Amino acid sequence: MRRSSVHMRRIAILLALAAVIAAAVLLHRADDGDVIKRMWYLDLNTRTLFAGPYAAVAPIPAPSGGYSGPDAGELGFEAGVVAMVVRPQGGGEPRIAYLQRYTREGHERRRRLLDGQAPDPADDGGPQGDQLIAFPPTDAEPTVGWHSPGSAPGKAILAQYAQLLRSGGMELYLPGD
């Protein structure tokens, strides 16, 4: 029992750290006084980027319509997921560093909160299980493998993203940049 509690605490700390890093990067990008209003999303059907509202809870509707991939039931039939896009500092060709979405339960929970509904006290779900991340699909690997940020693959995704920003000469790229 104690080991599980320690494990959950570590996951919570890692998620909080990832959120702080992402928030710091986003705030740094808005240090000229602009408020970030738009983010990149990837249409999983067409593998194309589109701009959408920053505050949306992914997955969201995409230009191509409902998601038609093998995990459509889990995604809730929406094809738009957050794409953390980076590019070389000073300009250059952007690329997707990783994707982010919420689980079906997390999506519903976030939507209720955004709609002003009080959280359900019986709901024991939390940020540890709500968010999933993945590397973007490629021609060689067209299926997206979603992972909890606290899992070993999730930690590797976040570590690679942090490395790109710290010493890889990359910066976060937002719509309108």
Domain count, the chain: 1
pLDDT > 90 fraction of the chain, expressed in percent and rounded = 41
Alpha-carbon dihedral angle through residues 104, 148, 136, 166, given to the nearest 10 degrees: 130
Asked if residue 32 belongs to a domain, the reply is yes
What is the pLDDT at residue 120? 64
Asked if residue 177 belongs to a domain, the reply is no
In residues, how long is the chain?
Answer: 177
Q: Which two tokens stand for residue 169?
A: 């000469």
Helix (H) or strand (E) holding 36: none
Q: Does residue 152 or residue 34 have the better pLDDT?
A: 152
Asked if residue 67 belongs to a domain, the reply is yes
Q: Kindly report, residue by residue over 89-123, the tens digit of the pLDDT.
A: 988 899 999 999 988 888 788 777 777 776 665 55
Q: Does residue 37 or residue 23 have the better pLDDT?
A: 37
Asked if residue 13 belongs to a domain, the reply is yes
- pTM comes to 0.75
Asked if residue 111 belongs to a domain, the reply is yes
Asked if residue 22 belongs to a domain, the reply is yes
Domain residues for 6? 2-172
Reply yes or no on whether the pLDDT at 158 is more than 90: yes
Asked if residue 76 belongs to a domain, the reply is yes
